[in-house]
Structure 1
């Protein structure tokens, strides 16, 4: 069970929401909460190595590539929908280390079992 579940469906088409998702996740981790971030729909591209490096909305926010690295380093979990990967042409071979591929059934279970959630869709 995770303390905070963040769901995200966008990539650079909504750079603000992407940035906020990882910023809030990182903040929750720094306060001692466990955080899982589920990438759905177009957001599955963010699980690809280096993809987040192209998103930077500027001060006072960090670039997304840095946020993702720090999020994982601080113990945050990134989970990516397998069906969304297939639909969006994202290959398992291209994923960052420490990313977990999950099914739609897993998504529902994680949502139902989380203490709190933040949806950025």
Structure 2
């Protein structure tokens, strides 16, 4: 990510149990990317399931594109996707179960990203 561009961080804490709250961070992040804003999504709590291979394929909130489509676009456009390591461990999700492009991170990484961003939103 460029130092001269603005950055926004979205923290997603919901998975398929709440498709709308799982999808909105990706809608906003891809919109930010289209506006030349660097976008970071951090998955925490049940949101970590979104980075599990095949999981996002069945998540679709009415009125929005399918989550899998948004997730693929986000990563293709250079978005950073962090997945909370303690949350993964709690849900017994192994690193090998994650989609390509997902990066495991802990509190310090999340804090650094939040401090360097213009704004942070939590869903």
- Please confirm whether the aligned pair reaches a TM-score higher than 0.5, indicating the same fold: yes
Cα deviation, residue 119, structure 1:
1.1
TM-score (structure 2 length as normaliser): 0.91
Partner of 1:96: 99
Partner of 2:61: 57
| Structure 2 residue runs without a partner (length 5+) | none
Contact residue 82 and residue 103 of structure 2 kept, 8 A: yes
In structure 1, distance between residues paired with 2:61 and 2:46: 18
1:26-75 deviations in Å (ceiling 9; x for gaps): 0000110100000001111111112111111233x100011100110111
Any stretches of 5+ residues in structure 1 without a counterpart?
none
Question: In structure 2, which of residues 80, 85, 97 is the aligned counterpart of residue 82 of structure 1?
Answer: 85
RMSD: 1.3
Q: Tell me which moved more, 98-107 or 63-72.
A: 98-107
1:22 to 26, 34, 59: 26
Give the TM-score taking structure 1 as reference length: 0.92
- Following TM superposition, the consecutive aligned residue runs of length 4 or more in structure 1 with deviations greater than 4 angstroms are none
